[in-house]
Chains A and B, each alone.
Chain A
Amino acid sequence: MSSLMLAIAAFTVLAMLAAALIATFSKSLSASILAAGLVSLLASVLFLVLAAPDVAMTEAAIGSGLTTFLFFFVLARVRGGDND
């Protein structure tokens, strides 16, 4: 049980760091916003592994849902005139 949890945690952490690097270094701004949302989603999986279901739920609803939407809203408003 514990080793399974450890494997899930290690996999989630690796995917999370990869997504964070994509979010920082990607050429396209939309891809970087989506990758930041993915970091939040994987963080909520990690919270679940760390026995924090309340925090996992909040992170999934707010961190990866509403935040990503806000970014795309502003991105749609400022498109044109400049590219990233």
Chain B
Amino acid sequence: MTNRIAVIVLLLGLGGVFANLLMGYVPDADLNRSGAYYAQHTAAETGSANVVTAIIVTYRGLDTLGEVTVLFLTAAILGLALALESRPQAAPRPPSGELLTTGSRLLAPLIVLFGVYVFLNGHLTPGGGFQGGAILASATLLLLLTDPLKKFGHGLISRVESGSGFFYVSIGVLGMVLAGGFLDNRILPLGTFGSLLSAGAIPLIYSLIGLKVGAEFSSMLANLADTEERK
């Protein structure tokens, strides 16, 4: 009981801090300096119509590399933590129904296609590598749900993961050699503003990020699916 009272007192204090922040909040009338720079110069410097994409892929590309690395570490630690237990042969489960199998065969390619669409158009419309990667992972999820007995292709997932990571870093280094700096997108021509093949290397880099994120999420899901089902 004293525990709960302590928690409530703590949260009341935190709530007081939040209320103070909220009362003192005055919305800006103009963009601050970094926001104004991005709004003004994104179109000329990167050729990307989506300013958020330009920030993630080019201006703050190094942060995104770090983030993808953190995600990779998470997937690796998750695999390690789940692989520690001894895995007895799970009892065979009845195969999933005809409807589920046919439906997933029909839907999985379409979901993958949509994911690819989302990350290829990341510089023009909302969306990009992270969202597209999550959509790719949901295709994996569908396959895992329909056919739980099939050993999932860990080899393919890890090859996609490491391959896209390698090319991502290579493009970054290429940017250092051919253009202004690490992950600079101007190693390819900027093209016409607003068309699919524009914005230099941004569609390429975001596709690689999408593949990497999708592979990492898929490996997390596949690792969890491999754990035995408790009765």
Which residues of the partner chain B approach A69 to less than 8 Å between Cβ atoms?
A: 141, 221
What secondary structure prevails in chain A residues at the interface with B? helix
Bin chain B's interface residue count: 20 to 34
**Residue from B52, B138, B220, B225 in contact with A65 in the complex, judged by beta carbons closer than 8 Å:** B138
- Contact among A53, A66, A77, A79 with B227 in the assembled complex (CB-CB below 8 Å): A77
Which residues of the other chain, A, contact B221 by a CB distance below 8 angstroms? 66, 69-70, 73
How distant is the Cα of A73 from the Cα of B78 in the complex, in angstroms?
14
Q: Could you count the A-B residue pairs with CB atoms below 8 Å apart for me: how many are there?
A: 51
Chain B residues engaging chain A, CB cutoff 8 angstroms:
50, 52-53, 118, 126-128, 130-131, 134-135, 137-138, 141, 217, 220-221, 224-225, 227-231
22 example contacts (A-B, Cβ-Cβ < 8 A) are as follows A53-B126, A54-B50, A54-B53, A54-B131, A57-B118, A57-B126, A57-B131, A58-B131, A58-B134, A62-B134, A65-B134, A65-B138, A66-B137, A66-B138, A69-B141, A70-B220, A73-B225, A76-B229, A77-B228, A77-B229, A77-B230, A80-B230
| New A-B contacts (15) at CB < 8 Å, excluding given A66-B217, A70-B221, A77-B228 | A53-B126, A54-B53, A54-B127, A57-B127, A58-B130, A58-B131, A61-B138, A62-B130, A66-B134, A66-B137, A66-B138, A66-B141, A73-B224, A76-B229, A79-B230
Interface residues, chain A, with chain B CB atoms under 8 Å away: 53-54, 56-58, 61-62, 65-66, 69-70, 73-74, 76-81
